[in-house]
Structure 1
């Protein structure tokens, strides 16, 4: 949390503006901006986004990209610290081999991305019909398996990169191809036993 607070203060300081001046540009109160940069608690994602948006016009182009990347990374780590998932054991998406691994890795991915509220993930997914909050909750909290389009929407909704998207699609394909091959093998065995009678 401390690192995020320091980063937010650094960005505000780089603008040369007061909290009151930034508040006029962010639609947040000066008190909310000060609280976000205080380190007392982890601010909501939307608050961090608004804080950055207020600072952005006062930063040079190259500073803007670096500032958002740094704020986002530190916010995610602060969320993991707050939720007690910083040291959690996870399955790397590159080593997913079955449904169980896939479910554990997807939940860990969501946690590493800051465990955004499900409605926020849905909004960022750009497809609320494909990804209703109830389905998203079943997938992330109870281990339901998403279809391929839902998986793509989840990765987008968690602000995943293009490389992450490709890795998840490959893992999904591997898990389902392996599962389907097992099912076909069982069916082939059932038909051959029936035919031999």
Structure 2
């Protein structure tokens, strides 16, 4: 992922706060067999300190690939929008000659995967995920030998992904003039399609923190 200086996270707290807003669904990317493409698995995940927790169905073909090569990437993308060319044309540029782009936030975790296959280990992993996704506790206890989850543990395997590197990108034209960025955010809000409002919020938030871009 190309990250220009103006796209980079301002600090670790920025991408951590973005994830905490509810961005807990991503794609797990695993090296495929020689000569074959990577395997990509959409999945929810939970952060647990320096680890990410994932569970997948036992029949998933990704397991053989992870056993062969435990080096994986989990990527999360959100708050994206297409920005038409006329919106980005400078004052001296005819609107039709403006160049379109995409706005988005992306966080990529490079990890080393450890497979969790013992029953109690899987139950503990699921309990931690339940604490995140079911914070009100409105679910049955996840325990070995107890219904309903106890009998299902054999059908899943867990992953503890040791995070080795985090790369975060906030692509919202932060190198353009303040007036330009504010105008695009207003246009995104007015258009109100898909994730336009979320992209506009990110652009305004970054604008407030950065102000005029200083190379």
* TM-score bucket (shorter structure): under 0.3
Instruction: Name the structure, 1 or 2, with higher relative contact order (CA <8 Å, separation 6+).
Output: 2
What is the TM-score of this pair, normalised by structure 1?
Answer: 0.23
More helix by share: 1
Structure whose residues are more often strand by fraction: 2
Give the TM-score taking structure 2 as reference length. 0.22
